[in-house]
Structure 1
Amino acid sequence: MGSATGFNASAASAAPAGASTLTHAKLDLHEPSKDGALDKPGPLIGSVDFQFNPKELTLQKSAKWTRPTTKGSKRSSPPQYQGPQPSKLTLEMFLDESVFFDPAKKQDGSVVKTVEQLFKCCVPTDASHGQKKDSPPWVKFSWGGLTGFLAYIEQVQVKYTLFTPAGLPVRAVCTVTLQELAGEPPGTNPTSGGRVPHREHVVVQGDTLPGVAYQEYGDASLWRAVADVNGVDDPARLRPGRRLLLPTADELLRQAPPTAPRTPLTTPRAGSPAVTPAPRREVAGAVR
């Protein structure tokens, strides 16, 4: 994650004065993290290289405040701080294939290909879709030693400004907005201290809580913790279409109540009365 300014510029500031090496900016594309944590991305799956470096970068950081209203009051109540909002970075990409224009040469459509690559950053990756954990790629802007925060692409707006006689776009201006993924370490909520789920599973016909827990965490025994997070009273009756919130495995283990130790069964000594165990009760399909 970047600094309070939104960038980590330590390497850039260490560059020798007067250095004239041209370094192109880029957007690195990553798979989402496998454990749901928001501070470390998954494997690198590609990058979008800037043909021309941006002439300006717009950073935005805000805080959320609320003013409770009181009926009949003649003055506004004092503001209450609710916490920081995620950082945003807005940048422009200028794409131009016309500098290589030759009427006798067929254009390769590099401008359109780059635009399509940016648009794909707003739809789930093939890997996440195959695992039923739909998520677009996570991105990080970098420019030499200047590194931005881990983010997702919130919006891509493209304006084509030049076309070939055949109608192929050869020049475009792309406005890309990135929103920060992790403003706080995973596992805590800065305003309430409650659970912060990082994934969501939509129940389909045939799903069971142990099956969902095994698919997400590799441990079917965590189904009770998943049920507790989602307030599931009857795990045997999961309605298709219900959305289950899935925290990270570490958070789930921290939130799970400790298992009560079992009293070992012993064989009664000679002459001792036999002890009959109390009958167990069944509530909502679960033995207690």
Structure 2
Amino acid sequence: MDLNPLNLLKHSKGKLTADSKNVDAAHRELSFMFNPKSYKITRRNNFQQKTTAAATEGNDQAYKGAENATLDMELYLDDWEQFFVSEEDSVPHAIETLLIWVGPTESSVGKNLQNPEPPLLHLDWGKKRFSGYLTSVTVDVSLFRKDGSPARATANIAMTASKDWTPKQNPTSGAVQGRTTHTLGEGDSLQSIAYGEYRNPNLWRGIAAFNDIDDPLRVQPG
């Protein structure tokens, strides 16, 4: 029985991209620092119940159509171990970008004050794309630098699909493509694996968090 398994999953990196025509260049794209563990897509049918006072076995329901799909996801943001972090790759910039995407774009406000709208976003991860609008962003900052800027945080985001987006397959099938596993061997460490997978040993904390490892020094081969 293997008491110390360590499976590291190598995914294609996910990203969120805003329509370039509606957003300034500095906030058009957000590449995931670490891919999410999971995400949830929900879609509901709408029915109108025809109530009858004398009904004893329920009432008839009239189908009113399907609601737009919604997507919920938690993003892990961390640049604490990075020796040098550019502004566009930093945690503060990622948080700022998400919060900007919740509000209306400057172009939509400038063109028509009666109909401002947020930017249309495209979530690309694997072979499929989810297109829609951010409906909510909740950021939980857990680590700060000396100047008070956030260095580690989780961001829970919710999106509502645009009217022209339709699901074409099970949403989990796109995420599994290209997945590989890594078993910890003699002499391996999370730092060495982070370098091998991402060419950056400072990303070992994200790997530890992704795999629920509390003490990386006590992880044994196997």
Q: TM-score range by the shorter chain?
A: 0.5 to 0.7
Distance 1:143 1:44 in 2: 23
Distance in 2, Cα, partners of 1:59 & 1:123: 22
CA separation of 1:58/1:184 partners in 2, compared to 1, >3 Å: closer, same or farther? Answer: closer
The match for 1:122 among 102, 110, 117 is 102
Tell me: CA distance 1:134–1:171, structure 2 relative to 1, closer, same or farther (3 Å).
same
Task: Give the alignment's TM-score, normalised by structure 2.
Answer: 0.60
> Which whole-Å deviations, capped at 9, do the CAs of 1:66-96 have from their partners, x for residues lacking one?
2111234444212222111111111111100
- Name stretches of at least 5 consecutive residues in structure 1 with no aligned partner: 1-19, 33-41, 186-288
- Among 163, 169, 178, which residue is 1:182 paired with? 163
Contact 2:23 2:119 in 1 (8 A): no
Secondary structure of the residue aligned to 1:113 is helix
Q: 1:122 to 1:80 in 2, by over 3 A?
A: same
Match among 141, 164, 173 for residue 160 of structure 1: 141
Partner amino acid, structure 2, of 1:156: V
Identify unmatched segments of 5+ residues in structure 2: 1-8, 167-222
Give aligned pairs, total. Answer: 153
Report the Cα distance in structure 1 between the residues aligned to 2:105 and 2:86, rounded to whole angstroms: 29
Say whether residues 1:170 and 2:151 are aligned partners: yes
Query: Is the CA contact 2:51–2:60 (under 8 Å) kept in the aligned structure 1?
Result: no
Relative contact order (alpha carbons < 8 A, sep ≥ 6): 1 or 2 greater? 2
Of structures 1 and 2, the larger Rg is shown by: 1
In terms of fraction of residues, the more helix-rich structure is 2
**Aligned letter for 2:17?**
D
Distance 1:145 1:54 in 2: 16
Contact 2:79 2:85 in 1 (8 A): no
Structure 2 CA distance for aligned equivalents of residues 183 and 106 of structure 1: 37
CA shift, 1:177, in A, is 0.9
Query: Which amino acid is the alignment partner of residue 170 of structure 1?
Result: A
**Which residue of structure 1 aligns with residue 15 of structure 2?**
26
CA apart distance, 1:128: 1.1
How far did 1:142 drift?
0.1
User: Normalization by structure 1: what TM-score?
Assistant: 0.47
C-alpha displacement at 1:168, in angstroms?
2.2
Kept in 2, the 8 Å contact 1:31–1:125? The answer is no
Indicate conservation of the 8 Å contact 1:29/1:44, yes or no. Answer: no
